């Protein structure tokens, strides 16, 4: 315990030094050992303007931290028999029955050698990749990889609102070839967004309702959401990129999600300032070019992690998953 305490104190000093140099405006950290918080550090603010102090309820962009939440909700459906991991995805999304696959070398496509399954989606071996994200304040979107180039227009259509549901996203993906045969390779990508649609069809319920009722509410994750009203805009952390300052060790932060706090795409009614489709639930954690997605507080992340450590049982005593599933 003494060694841990000294290590954490060294870490705290290092982190506070980074903040003092302008690497970030604020941060929230905690360490839990045997179910007890042994380290908690809240410093700085959620934005450079210094108006809102950092707290355990400050909202951070969860991005792919959403995927474990989606996976847990999916496994509740598996436990109930509503779907099986080895079900073909085309059972729930018929348009995926005739997917094509990019040739390993050169142009052209080939047919599927095996059906894509729910397991492939969870394991990121489906053949889907990711589109590009924004790279600067001008909202420039640059596609570099093969996958980013293939999905760029889909990502932009998500941003514009043309694609505003998981069903429409899957319809668009059905027209694109997979990067590889399902099960033959690994590629981090849109698999969990497709999984979200599978879950909607299997359960007959919207993904948002599934996640809230099966994971967020029983875990006590009361802060987690997809967007906030204008009055709570300051609760959402700013989105910055680090630029080189005038000095050798100086850093300058450039705010990417609108000039003002209330311009963030996560704030309802902000699209005129910073285009993006806030409030669209996606199994993967964000929508379009990384502009919107799920928001977590540190408190809620802790509650979710404690549920996983409890083998599917939340701190509230609510059982989310069977113990055998939680251990697996």
The last residue of a domain, from among 203, 218, 252: 203
148 with 192, same domain: the answer is: yes
Residue 238: which of 19, 60, 53 has the closest Cα?
Answer: 60
30 with 105, same domain: the answer is: no
**What does pTM read for this prediction?**
0.93
84 with 197, same domain: the answer is: yes
pLDDT of residue 109: 95
Neighbour tally for 171: CB within 10 Å: 14
242: left (phi over 0), alpha (psi -120 to 50) or beta: beta
101 with 30, same domain: the answer is: no
Residue 121: which of 197, 199, 200, 194 has the closest Cα?
Answer: 194
Domain presence at residue 255: no
pLDDT of residue 241: 84
Domain presence at residue 103: yes
Structural domain total, the chain: 2
Cα–Cα distances in angstroms (integers) from residue 128 to residues 18, 85, 96, in the given order? 37, 17, 12
Collapsing DSSP states into helix, strand and coil, what is residue 281? coil
Q: What is the pLDDT of residues 56-99, one digit of tens each?
A: 999 999 999 999 999 999 999 999 999 999 999 999 999 999 99
Domain presence at residue 295: no
Given CA atoms 206, 211, 212, 214 in this order, what sign does their dihedral have? positive
Domain presence at residue 72: no
CATH (domain of 168): 3.40.710.10
38 with 125, same domain: the answer is: no
Helix ranges (DSSP H) in 280-328: 298-309, 323-327
The first and second tokens of residue 31, run together, are 């360490």
The last residue of a domain, from among 172, 203, 234: 203
191 with 85, same domain: the answer is: yes
Domain presence at residue 211: no
Domain presence at residue 195: yes
CA distance 202 to 117: 14
Domain presence at residue 293: no
Residues of the chain with pLDDT under 70: 1-3, 135-137, 272-278
Domain presence at residue 63: no
| Domain range for 83 | 79-203
Round the CA-based radius of gyration of the chain to a whole number and report it: 21
pLDDT of residue 160: 86
CA distance 152 to 289: 9
Cα–Cα distances in angstroms (integers) from residue 6 to residues 12, 15, 43, 170, in the given order? 10, 14, 19, 50
pLDDT of residue 2: 58
pLDDT of residue 276: 66
pLDDT of residue 126: 99
38 with 83, same domain: the answer is: no
39 with 94, same domain: the answer is: no
111 with 158, same domain: the answer is: yes
């Amino acid at each position: 315990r003494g060694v841990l305490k000294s290590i954490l104190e060294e870490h705290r000093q290092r982190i506070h030094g980074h903040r003092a140099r302008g690497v970030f405006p604020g941060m929230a950290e905690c360490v839990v050992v045997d179910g007890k918080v042994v380290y908690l550090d809240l410093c700085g603010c959620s934005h450079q303007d210094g108006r809102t102090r950092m707290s355990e309820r400050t909202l951070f962009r969860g991005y792919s931290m959403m995927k474990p939440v989606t996976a847990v909700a999916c496994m509740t459906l598996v436990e109930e028999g509503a779907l099986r991991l080895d079900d073909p995805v085309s059972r729930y999304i018929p348009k995926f029955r005739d997917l094509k696959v990019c040739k390993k070398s050169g142009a052209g496509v080939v047919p599927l050698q095996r059906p894509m399954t729910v397991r492939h989606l969870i394991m990121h071996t489906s053949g889907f990749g990711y589109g590009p994200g924004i790279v600067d304040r001008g909202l420039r979107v640059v596609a570099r990889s093969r996958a980013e180039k293939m999905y760029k227009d889909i990502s932009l259509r998500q941003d514009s609102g043309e694609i505003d549901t998981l069903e429409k996203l899957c319809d668009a993906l059905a027209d694109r070839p997979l990067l590889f045969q399902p099960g033959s390779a690994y590629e981090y990508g849109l698999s969990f967004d497709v999984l979200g649609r599978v879950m909607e069809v299997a359960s007959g319920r919207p993904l948002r309702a599934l996640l809230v009722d099966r994971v967020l509410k029983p875990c006590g994750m009361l802060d987690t959401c997809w967007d906030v009203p204008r009055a709570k805009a300051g609760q959402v952390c700013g989105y910055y990129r680090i630029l080189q300052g005038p000095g050798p060790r100086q850093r300058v932060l450039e705010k990417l999600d609108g000039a003002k706090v209330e311009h963030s795409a996560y704030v309802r009614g902000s699209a005129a300032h910073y285009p993006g489709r806030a409030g669209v639930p996606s199994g993967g954690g964000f929508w379009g070019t990384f502009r919107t997605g799920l928001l977590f507080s540190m408190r809620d992340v802790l509650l979710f992690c404690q549920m996983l450590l409890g083998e599917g049982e939340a701190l509230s005593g609510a059982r989310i998953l069977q113990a055998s599933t939680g251990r697996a």
